[in-house]
Structure 1
């Protein structure tokens, strides 16, 4: 039986990844660039950001810095105005909290995370949250999940990571921790061959935890 669950955030607990892409797409369109979704997902899987395509197109860092600020504003607009709920998440967390201790390990910025969780009931089930400001190396580096494991004082075989992206899966594999991939329409085309478990929804975690 697993005693600890380490949740990725975007795409697992809230449906935000499509809006992050759309914010970048909208911002880059203002400087005449089209953000190709398929290439974006490939870059994302390797730990690259929205700006990988822009850099390959020869856009300079100063311009990218300006576009990034525009993207961030659009993203926060979407977080405040669009539906980002994932059906069944709160009920699943309430049940899982009776079986294991839980934490969120996310690459979200703290400001974005706080906007997302205004009025939501997700964080109450977590022992703690690690956002991008809380560690040096982002996924696919193992540091985020190893930091969470150390925070719990847990052994690797006591924990289960829940992810929806190949970048997150690579982080879990590098950390040496079991990983369950939950289905996400946005990231379904990514490579999940290294995942030990595949689930359709968070409610399916109960069976994995009790094994």
Structure 2
């Protein structure tokens, strides 16, 4: 698809234009990048693998709409949720930049999803003499660093000894101050939450009930209100 058409189509894509990848870019600079990265966009229905284990990922994906679950497939075949990516975020960037075979990760659509694919190999040219590539390189390094921090937080969560500690850490990470106190708004189902903390759904449901009985949390619809003190 010609870059000028992509630019017109992206002008109302607020998530793409506000993506950290394009931080500090004006519309003409975004157009410049799109024209040089062989950009194309595709739509996917629910539960479709955008990238699957066993393939070499050549293009970085930016989520324009919908959500993507990054799932690890273990030896037993059971899939565990690593993270859920939202519009404006990237998928597959580490694999596409290193040309490393993706041997264990599913990037799967949660619902109807649209992805902008970009070949970022131009970053290996000479970004030091191209201001636009220089900005893109800096933004991408920040994204990769943020991803590394996110994965380290996930490791910290999984190394907690009890399911309660895992859940409390998850809620603390996602909580913001509100009129009712520290509140975490759940976007995951109980099944997805169990997958994220590497536990069974029944165990998570039981522990949430115990935590509420013990006064650790209050469950109000999709809100988890953390106890103070």
> TM-score, structure 1 length as denominator?
0.24
Considering Cα pairs closer than 8 Å and 6+ residues apart, tell me whether 1 or 2 has the greater RCO. 1
* Bigger Rg, which one: 2
**Which one has the bigger helix percentage?**
1
